[in-house]
Amino acid sequence: MTCGNKKRILFVMQSLYDGGAEKLLVDMLNNFDYSKYDIDLLLEHDFGNYANLVPLEVRKIILFYNINRPLLERMIGKIMSYFGLYYFYILFFRRQIIIDKMKGEKYDTIISFLEGRSLVYHSFILKQGIRHLSWVHVDLFNFHWTKRYFKSNKHEKKCYELMDDVIFVSNDAKNKFQQLFNVTTSTKVIYNLIDCKTIVLRANEFKVEKRKFTVCLVGRLVRQKQFDSIIRVARIFVDNGYDISDYKSVMEEFGTMEDLECLIREMHKRDLKLMMDIVVNHTSNQHEWFKKSCQPDEDNPYADFYIWRKGKDGKEPNNWGSCFSGSAWKYDPQTDMYFLHLFSKKQPDLNWDNPKVRDRVFDMMNWWCEKGIDGFRMDVISLISKPEGLPDGIPGETGYADSGCANGPHVHEYLKEMNRKVLSHYDLITVGEASGVTLEEAKKYANADGSELNMVFQFEHTGGGPEADNHYGKWDSHKMPLPVWKKILSRWQTGLEGKAWNSLFLSNHDQPRSVSWFGNDSEQYREISAKMLGTCLHMMQGTPYVYQGEELGMCNAYFDQLDDYRDIESLNAYKELTETCGVSHEEMMGYLKRISRDNARTPMQWDDSANAGFTTGTPWIKVNSNYPKINAKQEVSDPDSVFSYYKNLIRLRHENEIIVYGDYELLAPEDEALFIYTRMLGTQRLMVLCNFTEKEVAIPQEVTEQIPADAKLLIGNYSKQKEEMLQAYEARVYAYHV
């Protein structure tokens, strides 16, 4: 018990041989104020890498001074361990030894500092202490290494419930623990003690040549540390898989080619189609073509597979900037030349002007079509043809210029060739990601004659408003005024009518969540505004795209820490804008919260279990913290959910030809709150009314006069409507005849 003013504490630890918990304990013991505490340390043996680092003030209580235990005991231990009876070995050979060693001892607090044997030993001497704590250092749900020391999971749970507190080194360890045991004991998180002085001293013992981005891993080579995961992480570090190193294989993380072939077969049995995201503007710098392209051989057949240029006046060939910040050129000392990369330095652009490149790409596409895929989403396809001569552009705030590669001089020629050699031979659906595409260009890409693609993604409606002072491109853009947004969408609706086909989308992997950007993601209005946005989009002419989670009303993640972001575009922009453009950390974090692509890349929220049911492991990026309230499990069974509303929208498109084929007309174009349009097919009419504000707004008289008294309310996001008024974020669709 307390000696004078000193508190007596007993730490229970199986050994000080090796490991993070052992090192942490030694660091902790070396930072105690021994004028206030008397510390005892119960160990199995007095040996190990950290044994000599225990301060002299600590009294060691050693269970076994002889390292070499009797042969019979060791044999029994191995046999009982093999049959899953190791706990009974501890109970039989060690329980009484521990009780005898600790007889007569009294402590204010007893702490079992490691899960497993330490906790079992602690459970034998509960009478010796007033307060009892137990430390958990790992994710026991995924690495349940301790179960051999207990009769059962129920027994292990009971031991933890004998404690006054269970301490965890992280919130993740705590959550996974509760997922496994669901104990009633008080739980707390105490982050590991960091001995900064020692770390700095040890770090200065080594010199690392920083030629490139360096990752250093420190730890024991054991399975729990998952050092093998760094290999997988490194493969997606560049741009989430958009750096292709092999066009005819499947990333290990997604399975095998046999898995994919099985998926295609099973989808087709269910009348589902598989569309492939294909990246042919660039490859990875690890692709065989690029490796061969770098070889300094005058007769190298791959030398012209990529865009190589000599430097100009000791600098890059031109002033083009990468979409991911910095120059679009990377110097290669092996060739004494620069290669073009419109995106990451590890994503060199292919030279589509080389017919051999095009033939290789088309052969690869045919190969996938023969596998049975049903379509292609073509990544940045509008950039494949570069301007003649690669001229300088007008530099922006960062000193770099836009490349001007969008809709290059030969892009339609190359796509027509692709159509002749690949697309026209199969029953496919194709959509091209065409950043910077104009309405006139879109008519060429998605011409009704079918000579190129079926449709394109255009991004005019997702950008910032023209009134925004966008010094930093997308990052400081703001929501454009509703009249401007309506005119953009309407121009595409009427401009492509009868000439080409629209792609309808508000969300994708490159945009913030639609309900956060176009709607209102507050608790009060998130669901209702998500339904309104779905209505506004699905009643238009074109093919609607529903991005994962959009049908649940998933919203931006609003991460508070830069370390939570994974997107290379976001991280590079942070570095460039804070270091060279004078943007503050606070400003940039505000930009990331609104615009970062990672907002749309957080894991799908399947249910309210740990990690939203996305994985039992550690997700590659944090789950949005609102997953307990917003998840598929909850919404699928709720007839009033965003999910159920989307099902109704899709059903209506299948049941009503007017939604698919009807002509479009915008009403009240200057209204700053309401988006109102009609669809017309013969005598049929649809009137679509959407309120984009949190205020009640009167429906213009010229609109109400067009809606007959017998008009049918086809769908709406409020159970009760107010005559001639639209409530906050209300949507209505009326059907009638004229």
3-state helix, strand, coil in the chain (%, to 5): 35, 15, 50
Task: Count other Cβ atoms within 10 Å, centred on residue 167.
Answer: 19
Bridge partner list, 7 = 37
The string of DSSP letters for 402-432 reads ----TT-TTHHHHHHHHHHHTGGGS--EEEE
Please state, in angstroms and rounded to a whole number, the distance separating the CA atoms of residues 245 and 313: 33
Which residues have a Cβ under 8 Å from the Cβ of 196 and sit 6 or more positions away?
none
- Residue 371 class from Cβ within 10 Å (0-12 exposed, 13-18 middle, 19+ buried)? middle
Please state, in angstroms and rounded to a whole number, the distance separating the CA atoms of residues 653 and 676: 18
- 88 is written with which tokens? 């009974």
Q: Are 342 and 322 in contact (CB under 8 A)?
A: yes
Please state, in angstroms and rounded to a whole number, the distance separating the CA atoms of residues 446 and 438: 12
CA of 544: how far to CAs of 409, 415, 501, 554, in Å?
Answer: 30, 24, 11, 18
Judge whether 332 counts as a catalytic residue. Answer: no
- Residue 31 class from Cβ within 10 Å (0-12 exposed, 13-18 middle, 19+ buried)? exposed
- The single-letter code of the amino acid at 106 is K
Tell me which of 195, 332, 379, 402 is the catalytic residue.
379
Please state, in angstroms and rounded to a whole number, the distance separating the CA atoms of residues 141 and 136: 12
CA 235 to chain centre: 15
Burial 681-700 (b: 16+ CB within 10 A, else e): eeeebbbbbbbbbeeebebb
CA terminus-to-terminus distance, the chain? 92
Please state, in angstroms and rounded to a whole number, the distance separating the CA atoms of residues 558 and 547: 19
Tell me which of 38, 433, 551, 576 is the catalytic residue.
433
Q: Are 727 and 691 in contact (CB under 8 A)?
A: yes
Which residues have a Cβ under 8 Å from the Cβ of 723 and sit 6 or more positions away?
none
Please state, in angstroms and rounded to a whole number, the distance separating the CA atoms of residues 175 and 311: 54
3-state secondary structure of 167: strand
Please state, in angstroms and rounded to a whole number, the distance separating the CA atoms of residues 650 and 205: 64
Phi, then psi, of 134 in degrees rounded to 5: -135, 135
- Residue 203 class from Cβ within 10 Å (0-12 exposed, 13-18 middle, 19+ buried)? exposed
Which residue is listed with tokens 């730890």?
219
Q: Are 672 and 465 in contact (CB under 8 A)?
A: no
Please state, in angstroms and rounded to a whole number, the distance separating the CA atoms of residues 260 and 246: 15
Select from 696, 694, 692 the least CA-distant residue to 673.
692
Judge whether 239 counts as a catalytic residue. Answer: no
Q: Are 308 and 290 in contact (CB under 8 A)?
A: no
- The single-letter code of the amino acid at 199 is I
Q: Are 354 and 315 in contact (CB under 8 A)?
A: no
Please state, in angstroms and rounded to a whole number, the distance separating the CA atoms of residues 295 and 230: 29
Please state, in angstroms and rounded to a whole number, the distance separating the CA atoms of residues 237 and 570: 13
Please state, in angstroms and rounded to a whole number, the distance separating the CA atoms of residues 360 and 248: 12
Planar angle of CA 90, 96, 97, nearest 5 degrees: 85
The residue ranges of DSSP E strands in 174-293, in sequence order, are: 186-189, 275-279
Q: Which residues are catalytic?
A: 379, 433
